[in-house]
Amino acid sequence: MAKYAAVEAGKAIMEVYNSGEFSTDLKQGGFPLTIADKTAHRIIIDLLSKTKLAVLSEEGAIVDFSQRQFWEYFWLIDPLDGTKEFINKNGEFTVNVALIKQNRPIAGVIYVPCSDILYYGSKETGIYKTEKARLTQFSPLTERKKFHDLLQREHLIIVASRSHHSHKTKAFIGQFKNATLISLGSSLKFMLLLENRADIYPRLGATMEWDTAAAHAILNAANRGVYTTDMQSELIYNKPDLTNPFFIAF
């Protein structure tokens, strides 16, 4: 159901995208919001409601923690991750759907509407990518990478946000000997790690839980981590404040 919901939302997003006619509003915090965000939200909520699990969406009402704290399972979604990329028409936006169990992401779906690419998986099912009717399965790493080992590498590829590139991020990148930097929007940055096209993704800026949950579940299934800056603890979900701490994924 989560895969179907993400793809159907993506189809609706592309109708708006290809029309070239969409207005942009500003929601709380000054973040952009389009009709594509709203339409994708409604589609996913309607489809996931059939699972009888609670749904928490970036574009929906934020349920108070006094109620959320009792949720064992729930869906956490970002109907359009990369709204700035959508507005700029560079194609680097995704639909993110994650299943959370006891504050941990256990399954994730990421759909890339512009290229019709679907990433999905969990530790139980394995991790997959579909592209133009071609199915690829990813094998988990035999052991997790260590940050210390990455620091010793003669060369590595760092992926960073296209729209959010802070001074702290530049300082972080500076500690590596010889790094190639790739800039990309939305959850696509995480998927470069999955496909071994990048080695590390530092995000030393604000994100929300729905920005990371689906990718986090997929990377965990691939035996990778999305760590807080201590490089040991991983992000947790369904916190009283839904803002993520800074994180490093590898």
Examine the domain organization and report whether 134 and 168 are in the same domain.
no
Examine the domain organization and report whether 78 and 164 are in the same domain.
no
Examine the domain organization and report whether 131 and 166 are in the same domain.
no
Q: Are 55 and 74 in contact (CB under 8 A)?
A: yes
Instruction: Say what the pLDDT of residue 167 is.
Output: 83
CATH code of 164's domain: 3.40.190.80
Domain count, the chain: 2
Strands 104-112 and 117-122 come out as antiparallel
Q: Which domain holds residue 184?
A: 147-249
Examine the domain organization and report whether 59 and 110 are in the same domain.
yes
Per-residue pLDDT tens over the stretch 128-183 = 999 988 999 999 999 999 999 999 998 999 998 765 567 888 888 888 888 899 99
Considering only residues 23 and 10, tell me which one the structure prediction assigns the higher pLDDT. 10
Written as one string, the DSSP assignment of 224-247 is --EEETTSSSBP--S-SS-BPPPE
Examine the domain organization and report whether 82 and 199 are in the same domain.
no
Examine the domain organization and report whether 103 and 222 are in the same domain.
no
Examine the domain organization and report whether 158 and 132 are in the same domain.
no
C-alpha span between 57 and 84 (Å, rounded)? 18
Examine the domain organization and report whether 133 and 153 are in the same domain.
no
Examine the domain organization and report whether 166 and 188 are in the same domain.
yes
CATH code of 75's domain: 3.30.540.10
Give me the mean pLDDT over the 55-77 stretch.
95
Residue 139 DSSP code? P
Give me the mean pLDDT over the 19-35 stretch.
66
Examine the domain organization and report whether 128 and 188 are in the same domain.
no
Examine the domain organization and report whether 12 and 95 are in the same domain.
yes
Per-residue pLDDT tens over the stretch 78-131 = 999 998 888 888 999 999 999 999 999 999 999 999 999 999 999 999 999 999
Per-residue pLDDT tens over the stretch 30-52 = 566 788 889 999 999 999 999 99
Considering only residues 29 and 17, tell me which one the structure prediction assigns the higher pLDDT. 17
Report the half-sphere exposure of 33 (CA within 13 A, side-chain side). 14
Examine the domain organization and report whether 54 and 151 are in the same domain.
no
Last residue of a domain, one of 96, 111, 138: 138
Written as one string, the DSSP assignment of 149-188 is HHHH-S-EEEEEESS---HHHHHHHTTSSSEEEEEE-TTH
